[in-house]
């Protein structure tokens, strides 16, 4: 492939070679998506799109389907590791995920093989922040529990102590991971009358003047609401475990819209069962989908939604199109609109 790149970049006949490379370009889109999502790919007559199916592609099938492709447009359900890169072979030039998280891609392996990697930051920030706020309120104000109680005919009459929850006014909110999504969540929560906004992470961000940077320990101890928006990395895997839950207030509400693996789920179950913390609202968990007989699903102080942070019509359209534009750019040997940092 390096040789092909060298030939393509030779200035005097690059157009001819490029036309040939593009005429052969095959792109696997691992999931069935509306045409509008991948319009930038479909508009390129020199790109052949190989569509995936309705469900996530099993590993074996992925290995078969990637053989000889130039690009892979994937989702967070597809683990793009060395074995997939090997199965694709030297034709592969770009992996583009329709997600802001890219923990499912072995970025180092891609770099070693000169495979460009794209992702979709920014376009999903608002939708994910909106969902985080909705989930926080649904959890703290016990919306699902209340709705279920009504459906089950358990709603007697108006009761002074029925379904009491916790409000945001005068509270301290802690955001773990004050990146794009964390900041969008914080800005949306402040108008609810939050008294103190805290955040923790790798380093303080001087441009953030509406929240205080604190140690992780401080965040755990002081927050009434904790919202997790950090990326999943080796450092953040199982970041929230027994010790962290026992450091939190008994009244704390824990919300995770990042990745399930940031939480030691068994420890969370224990913390919720023993009322070490008050409640949890989770858009992400392990595994996904979580079995319906999982303990977490049975707990009345846990609100679970099926990883829908970015599931908003315009957002998904923009994510699809950006992922497609990353592929087209890479195949044209142009800079990707949104390459994964460090690639």
**Smallest gap, in angstroms, from Cβ of residue 123 to ligand DGY?**
9
In this chain, which stretch among 57-65, 97-105, 185-193, 243-251 interacts with ligand DGY, using CB under 6 A?
97-105
Site string for ligand DGY, 115-144 (x = CB under 6 A): ---------x--------------------
Q: Does 265 bind ligand DGY (CB under 6 A)?
A: no
Assess 309 for contact with ligand DGY (CB under 6 A): yes
CA-based nearest residue to 90, from 29, 30, 14, 24: 24
Nearer to ligand DGY, 30 or 99 (CB): 99
> Can you tell me the distance from the alpha carbon of 308 to that of 257, in angstroms, rounded to the nearest whole number?
9
Minimum separation from the CB atom of position 119 to ligand DGY (A): 8
Q: State the catalytic residues.
A: 307
- DSSP E strands, the chain: 25-31, 47-53, 71-74, 94-97, 116-118, 172-176, 196-200, 212-213, 225-228, 253-256, 279-282, 302-304
CA distance 341 to 71: 19
User: What's the length of the chain?
Assistant: 343
Which among 318, 316, 304 has a CA at the least distance from the CA of 257? 304
> Which range of residues in 4-12, 46-54, 60-68, 95-103 is near ligand DGY by CB under 6 A?
95-103
Q: Which is nearer to ligand DGY, 214 or 324 (CB)?
A: 324
Minimum CB distance to ligand DGY smaller for 198 or for 282? 282
- Residue 198: phi and psi, rounded to 5, are -115, 155
For residue 7 the two structure tokens come to 């030939």
Q: Please report how close the Cβ of residue 310 comes to ligand DGY at its closest, in angstroms.
A: 3
Q: Is 100 a residue that touches ligand DGY (CB under 6 A)? A: yes
Please select the residue that binds ligand DGY; options are 310, 321, 326, 338, rule is CB under 6 A. Answer: 310
Half-sphere exposure of 182 (CA within 13 A, CB side): 24
The binding site for ligand DGY (CB under 6 A) comprises 76, 99-101, 124, 309-310
């Amino acid at each position: 492939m390096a040789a092909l790149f060298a030939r393509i970049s030779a200035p005097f006949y690059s157009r001819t070679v490029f036309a040939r490379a593009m005429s052969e370009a095959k792109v696997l889109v691992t999931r069935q998506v509306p045409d509008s999502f991948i319009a930038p790919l479909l508009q390129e007559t020199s790109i052949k799109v190989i569509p995936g199916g309705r469900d996530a592609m099993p590993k074996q099938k992925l290995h078969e389907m990637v053989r000889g492709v130039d690009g892979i447009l994937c989702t967070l359900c597809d683990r793009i590791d060395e074995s997939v890169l090997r199965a694709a072979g030297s034709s592969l030039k770009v992996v583009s995920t329709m997600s802001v998280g890219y923990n499912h891609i072995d970025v180092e392996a891609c770099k070693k093989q000169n495979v460009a990697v794209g992702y979709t930051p920014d376009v999903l920030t608002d939708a994910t922040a909106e969902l985080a706020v909705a989930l926080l309120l649904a959890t703290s104000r016990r919306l699902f529990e209340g709705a279920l109680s009504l459906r089950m005919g358990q709603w007697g009459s108006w009761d002074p102590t029925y379904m009491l929850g916790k409000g945001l006014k005068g509270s301290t909110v802690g955001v773990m991971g004050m990146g794009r999504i964390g900041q969008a969540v914080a800005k949306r929560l402040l108008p609810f009358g939050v008294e103190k906004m805290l955040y923790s992470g790798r380093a303080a961000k001087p441009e953030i003047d509406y929240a205080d940077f604190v140690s992780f320990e401080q965040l755990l101890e002081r927050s009434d609401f904790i919202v997790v928006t950090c990326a999943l990395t080796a450092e953040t895997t199982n970041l929230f475990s027994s010790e962290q839950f026992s450091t939190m207030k008994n009244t704390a509400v824990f919300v995770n819209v990042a990745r399930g693996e940031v939480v030691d789920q068994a420890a969370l179950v224990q913390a919720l069962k023993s009322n070490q913390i008050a409640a949890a609202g989770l858009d992400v968990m392990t595994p996904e989908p979580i079995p319906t007989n999982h303990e977490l699903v049975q707990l009345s102080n846990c609100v679970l939604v099926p990883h829908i942070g970015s599931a908003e019509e315009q957002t998904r359209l923009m994510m699809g199109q950006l992922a497609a534009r990353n592929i087209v750019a890479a195949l044209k040997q142009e800079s990707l609109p949104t390459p994964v940092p460090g690639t």
